Amino acid sequence: MTIELRPIADEDIEAYFHLMNDESVAIMAGTVPHPVTLEWARERIVTRRKQEEEGALAQRGLFRDGELVGDVSYFFRDGDIEIGYAIGKAHRGQGLATIAARLGVELVRDHGLVGPIHAGYAQDNPASGRVLEKVGFIHTGEGMGTSMGRGGDMPLYKTIYRDDIRLRPHKAEDFEILHGFVDDDALYQAGGGARDESAGAMQKRIEGYIDKGALFNVIQYEGAVAGYLGAYARDGKWEVSYWLGPDFRGKGLAERALSAWLMDAPPFEGGLYARVAKDHAASVRVLEKCEFERMGEDTYHSPHRGEDVGEWIYRSTHDR
């Protein structure tokens, strides 16, 4: 089974009409009347394409094996990002709503939007509430919306999705942000290595490592670039390292990012190691919570401290 989100093309409009011309969809939506016409469906798609060009929203069809089975969108309400989704009546009860909600979150992040994501659902639609809970939304209260399908007010439950961690490949524009994260405190704790003179120099250095086989991921927090995580071979052994910007430290993000990365990381011949300054208690806690085991010690000269520094050597037990 292949599930994908993609724009609703002209050839999909008839299928979209049949999807939306359903009272059970209309009464749970805000801007879908019942019944609708094929012309209404066509005008809605055209209007939404224009609104996406203006940055007001984005809508995608949810396709299963090439068949339109639902739609997913995000929009803005009172300045907040909000997602919505609908699944055709014939396709419910198959887990597609949960997939749609997850893909809605991904759509928001893929479009570079940062901050919490909101979602509301009708109080007489508890199934939608369970879907949002599965994805990670939490309840924040109650509210009132307007439903064209009901012809009036619709009591809602409000939810929010926040504190999300995402690992993704880097983009060239990330290095302006990442270079700005290289502050004196982080360099003091990290120890070795010279400060890159510019974002371009940082990009060239890291992409040089990647060309030689290193792994590199940008860490996003609520859609914002928060740091990076990478692994590289040193003296024949793989080592992992990570770095967070000043505003993202002390939130448990390093632990969450490393744990998520380890779940999908490839096997490392000879094991995966990490080094940390002995006085860097926060990073020691991160490694130990992520199933790294202390197995030795060493020293290195830190140009940022102007002295030799003791360090612990850890090895991952995650894949044993």
- In percent, how much of the chain has pLDDT > 90? 88
Q: What is the mean pLDDT of residues 1-23?
A: 96
Secondary structure (DSSP) of 166-211? EEE---TTHHHHHHHT--HHHHHHH-SSPPPSSHHHHHHHHHHHHH
Q: What is the pLDDT of residue 195?
A: 80
pLDDT digit string (tens) for 80-96? 999 999 999 999 999 99
Q: Which of 33, 82, 27, 28 is nearest to 58 (CA)?
A: 82
Query: H helices within the chain, ranges in order?
Result: 13-20, 23-26, 38-53, 96-110, 126-135, 174-180, 184-190, 199-211, 253-264, 281-289
In this prediction, residue 193 carries a pLDDT of 63
Cα–Cα distance for residue pair 187/190, rounded to 1 Å: 5
Task: Please tell me if the domain spanning 3-161 has the same topology as the one spanning 165-316.
Answer: yes
Q: How confident is the model at residue 306 (pLDDT cuts 50, 70, 90)?
A: confident
Long-range contacts of the stretch 67-72 (C-beta < 8 A, 24+): 67/15, 68/8, 68/12, 68/15, 68/16, 68/19, 69/19, 69/96, 70/19, 70/96, 70/97, 70/100, 71/8, 71/16, 71/19, 72/5, 72/100, 72/101, 72/103, 72/104, 72/107
Q: Which residues contact 244 (CB under 8 A, 6 or more apart)?
A: 181, 219, 226, 227, 253, 254
Is pLDDT larger for residue 188 or for residue 163?
A: 163
* 94: helix, strand or coil: coil
Q: Where are the domains of the chain?
A: 3-161, 165-316
Domain 3-161 sits in CATH 1.10.1040.10: no
* 119-174: pLDDT as tens digits: 999 999 999 999 999 999 999 999 999 999 999 999 999 999 999 999 999 999 99
Average the pLDDT over 255-262 and give the result.
95
Q: Quick one: average pLDDT of 244-254? A: 93
Given a cut of 80, whether residue 185 has pLDDT beyond it is: no
Query: Residue 189: is its pLDDT beyond 80?
Result: no
20-42 pLDDT tens trace: 999 999 999 999 999 999 999 99
Q: Which of 156, 140, 161 is nearest to 29 (CA)?
A: 156
- Whole-number average pLDDT of the chain: 94
Helix 13-20 and helix 38-53: axis angle, to 10°?
Answer: 110
> Cα(99)–Cα(4) distance, rounded to whole angstroms?
10
Under the banding of pLDDT at 50, 70 and 90, the label for residue 192 is low
| 14: pLDDT strictly greater than 70 | yes
Domain 165-316, what fold?
Aminopeptidase (3.40.630)
d(CA 86, CA 96) in angstroms, rounded, equals 9
Phi-psi region of 167 (alpha: psi -120 to 50; beta: other; left: phi over 0): beta
Give the per-residue pLDDT at 87.
Answer: 97
Residue tagged 């090895």 (tokens): 315
Cis? peptide before 35, omega within 30° of 0: yes
* Cα 60 to Cα 190: distance, rounded to the nearest angstrom: 43
What is the predicted pLDDT for the residue at 94?
95
